[in-house]
Amino acid sequence: MSLFDRDRSAERLPVSLITGFLGSGKTTLLNRLLKHADMAGSLVIVNEFGEIGLDHLLFERVDGETVLMSSGCVCCTVRSDLEETLRDIARKSAKGQMPPFDRLLVETTGLADPAPIVQLLLNNPMTAHDYRLDAVITTVDAVNGSKQLDEHQEAVKQAALADRLLLTKADLADAGALTVLKLRLGMINPSAELIPAAHGDVAPGRLFGAALFDPARKSSDARRWLRAETIEGAPHAHDPNVHGDGIRSFCITHDEPLDWQAVHDWLAALRREKGGDLLRVKGILNLEGEAAPVAIHGVHHVFHPPVQLDGWTDGDRRSRIVFIVRDIDRALVEESWRSFVLAREAA
């Protein structure tokens, strides 16, 4: 019998986080998405209704914090904090006090650090029962993006944690500056798909389904979720001096089955010593005594409880752990890997 719970992602509501620096087009994107027929049945969490252009949409107020739009979407405001809002939504939904919905979108403020929200969705027992993290979508202003990355660490972190990077206002940007920005984003986060989005016009299908479980495929797709090959093939992926953001990505792979206790102790030591700079860690592990792969996922000090997937989807059964880190040398992580995991296996 496995030590790990099976993945219950299919039973929980997918949550997508829309983040990005001030003026980068988050609200424009959200307004366009809410008009799209494929987005009917979405629930949107915003700070204020006024930030969403509701004037062109017929809506009725369901209660003090919720409105129902003619598109079929539900929109609500954050009351005191996001956790309370999510729990309130889950209670109302279970009692039939809200229209049914099948997707949740959360728009952050432009100065927000997305990590606490990701952590909330990964490992808070009060929310994990009802919700799962689907995608972190970050809008980047093609005109001002480089300057914002230079001057604001929040902008760098928003880009580093993204599953999808949406490049807005590209039609207004200088071609040379745009090329430099694309290269920089690719070095900050080579695993994120870079998508042009003029005036917020992007097909919903390109934004979502970045989680390990994809309802459209009815399966777990580790290769797509990790995008480890993209990281390893990125230019300068191992060079700590390429840019001044201090952000780098790399992937550790291992061919043989691993001892879970050794991996657990290694991750615990990394979180204890370097948790503040572990921006995102995602992995698929082939463990001794387990017939199916085990997924790990964490941000900073907070990791989702490891879950066992239904099975291997292809012949590649290597363990792969993808890191997006700030000011952490890859050599340090690899040395700790050898000390904790490989040395214990050899012994």
pLDDT 10s digits, 133-163: 999 999 999 999 999 999 999 999 999 999 9
Domain span at residue 240? 235-346
**The token pair that represents 62 in the structure block:** 């369901």
Residues 208 and 249 in one domain: no
Residues 310 and 205 in one domain: no
Residues 197 and 329 in one domain: no
Query: Does 226 fall in a domain?
Result: no
Query: How far is Cα 147 from Cα 192, in angstroms, rounded to an integer?
Result: 21
Q: For residue 25, what is the domain's CATH number?
A: 3.40.50.300
Query: What phi and psi values does residue 158 have, to the nearest 5 degrees?
Result: -60, -40
Query: Does 230 fall in a domain?
Result: no
Query: Does 263 fall in a domain?
Result: yes
Q: For residue 287, what is the domain's CATH number?
A: 3.30.1220.10
Instruction: Identify the three-state secondary structure at position 329.
Output: coil
**Residue 261 CB partners (closer than 8 Å, separation 6+):** none
DSSP annotation of 235 reads T
Residues 50 and 181 in one domain: yes
- Residue that the structure tokens 């580093």 belong to: 160
Query: Does 227 fall in a domain?
Result: no
In contact, 74 and 67? CB cutoff 8 Å: yes
Residues 254 and 337 in one domain: yes
What is the chain's mean pLDDT, rounded?
Answer: 83
Residues 117 and 243 in one domain: no
H-helix segments, the chain: 26-35, 82-94, 115-123, 125-128, 145-151, 153-160, 175-188, 222-226, 228-233, 260-274, 330-337, 343-346
Residues 203 and 74 in one domain: yes
**Residue 301 CB partners (closer than 8 Å, separation 6+):** 271, 275, 276, 278
**Residue 54 CB partners (closer than 8 Å, separation 6+):** 67, 69, 75
Supply the pTM of this predicted model: 0.84
Which is nearest to 51 in space by CA: 38, 36, 71, 34?
34
Give the burial class of 3: count Cβ atoms within 10 A of its Cβ; 0-12 exposed, 13-18 middle, 19 or more buried. exposed
Query: How far is Cα 304 from Cα 311, in angstroms, rounded to an integer?
Result: 19
Query: What phi and psi values does residue 295 have, to the nearest 5 degrees?
Result: -100, 140
Q: Among 163, 185, 214, which residue terminates a domain?
A: 214
Query: Does 149 fall in a domain?
Result: yes
pLDDT at 63 over 70: no
Q: Among 214, 246, 261, which residue terminates a domain?
A: 214
Q: Please, what's the b/e burial string for 10-44 (b: 16 or more CB within 10 A of its CB; e: otherwise)? A: eebbbbbbbbbbebbbbbbbbbbbbebeebeebbb
Q: Among 155, 182, 214, which residue terminates a domain?
A: 214
Residues 134 and 54 in one domain: yes
At 238 the pLDDT is 44
- Residue that the structure tokens 């739009």 belong to: 69
Residues 243 and 167 in one domain: no
Number of domains forming the structure of the chain: 2
At 161 the pLDDT is 94
CA–CA distance from 78 to each of 44, 115, 163, 262 (Å)?
10, 17, 24, 41
pLDDT 10s digits, 247-301: 888 999 999 999 999 999 999 999 999 999 999 999 999 999 999 999 999 999 9
Looking at per-residue pLDDT, the higher value among 174 and 238 belongs to: 174
Residues 177 and 86 in one domain: yes
pLDDT 10s digits, 8-39: 777 888 999 999 998 999 888 888 888 888 88
In contact, 191 and 231? CB cutoff 8 Å: yes
Query: Does 92 fall in a domain?
Result: yes
DSSP secondary structure, 49-67, as one string = GGGS-GGGS-EEEEETTEE
At 344 the pLDDT is 72
Residues 112 and 194 in one domain: yes
Query: Does 332 fall in a domain?
Result: yes
At 247 the pLDDT is 87
Query: Does 220 fall in a domain?
Result: no
Residues 157 and 266 in one domain: no
